Amino acid sequence: MTHQLPTTDRLSPLNDIHVAAGASFTDFAGWQMPVRYDSDLVEHHAVRTAAGLFDLSHMGEILVLGPEASDALDYALAGKLSAIAVGQAKYSLMLDRDGGIVDDLVVYRTGEDRYLVVANASNREVVAAELLNRCSPFDCAVEDESDNIALIAVQGPRALEILLEVPGIGVPGLAELKYYRAIAGEFGEHALFVARTGYTGENGYELYLSPEVAPALWDAIMETGAGSGLVPAGLASRDTLRLEAGMPLYGHELGLDTQPAQAGLGRVVALGKEGDFVGRAAVEAGAPADARVLVGLQMSGRRAGRAGYAVLSGDATVGEITSGALSPTLGYPIAMAYVDPAASVTGTELTVDVRGTAIPASVVPLPFYSREA
């Protein structure tokens, strides 16, 4: 197999490890990141049955800290961040004044007046600049720490078992950590921040630490998990895993032309919180009645619809696929698509134009896959 080598200055601190492991690379938001190491399917199934190790060092990490950090984030973001406890995480949205989605974020409260905002790699600069602007009237500081933080994720049913055995990791309370909670610890003598969060639909953990220490942690996790089915996993498997779990991807299901309710994320917007927030008036006014909404599609056969493919009802185009793949776990094609409201009812029979062939598809609830409790 021929492997594409990185050709850009934006390289992960784990780049040398990925090259040595034979990874194939792809450009992702200006970064050269591993798309796969050997087989997308092997990596996908490993996460569903054992564990996968992901390099997410391209993500953006922005600190908001100070006496009015909570008030600032309540204004800057759609969620009520002041309500979460120290050590808790919350999925939230940054909206523009028209109610469009600037980015979807995970926010960790790491102290009474300290938050860590994690942004998508493609939106790091935009989110940092918007936070700086929106938080400026408040007594707080905004610091983009993205270049000083590496991010490694261990995802899968054996993730906890593996992490508990990694030499040098000391995280008191890790075994009891609840979903969407985070805890401080150490790797050797270095600070480590561990969150029980992820983007695969499986139990998993995301580990934040200094870029200089990340290679040693990666190697330690790989060595520890070798006998438990752990494999390094790239962006290709991460994409099929999140699709099965019905998790939206910015630039596909989310964007400035989409309001939260259209994407099924109306619950993320805290309209009950006090005071104004950016985008509130537009969200309260709502999207037009005929605005398309996000649905899941289960397709027949083995040919998957891809982003941009038309969704049809008879001869009429009623929507467009945003993400699609042949599901490795389920064994049939699945897709997420924006469709006209009249075509969004579960059980509605539609077709997808796959390169000139009309493939039958049915509207189904999201997610397509949910792990057992």
Token pair recorded at residue 47 = 């996460």
What is the per-residue DSSP string for 183-248? Answer: EEEEETTEEEEEES--SSSS-EEEEEE-TTTHHHHHHHHHHHHGGGTEEE--HHHHHHHHHHTT--
State the burial class of residue 294 (Cβ atoms within 10 Å of its Cβ: 0-12, 13-18, 19+). Answer: buried
Residue limits of CATH 3.30.1360.120 in the chain: 15-57+149-244
Pairwise CA distance, residues 118 & 106, whole Å: 5
Pairwise CA distance, residues 243 & 241, whole Å: 5
The listed CATH number (3.40.50.1000, 3.30.1360.120, 3.30.360.10, 3.60.150.10) that belongs to domain 15-57+149-244: 3.30.1360.120
Work out the number of other CB atoms within 10 angstroms of the CB of residue 278.
19
Pairwise CA distance, residues 61 & 76, whole Å: 16
Start-to-end Cα distance in the chain: 39
In this prediction the pTM is 0.95
pLDDT tens sequence for the chain (373 residues):
345 554 556 999 999 999 999 999 999 999 999 999 999 999 999 999 999 999 999 999 999 999 999 999 999 999 999 999 999 999 999 999 999 999 999 999 999 999 999 999 999 999 999 999 999 999 999 999 999 999 999 999 999 999 999 999 999 999 999 999 999 999 999 999 999 999 999 999 999 999 999 999 999 999 999 999 999 999 999 999 999 999 999 999 999 999 999 999 999 999 999 999 999 999 999 999 999 999 999 999 999 999 999 999 999 999 999 999 999 999 999 999 999 999 999 999 999 999 999 999 999 999 999 987 4
**Chain center to CA of 369:** 16
Residue limits of CATH 3.30.70.1400 in the chain: 60-130
Angle at 336 between CA 330 and CA 342, to 5 degrees: 120
Token pair recorded at residue 169 = 């990791």
60-130: in CATH 3.30.420.40? no
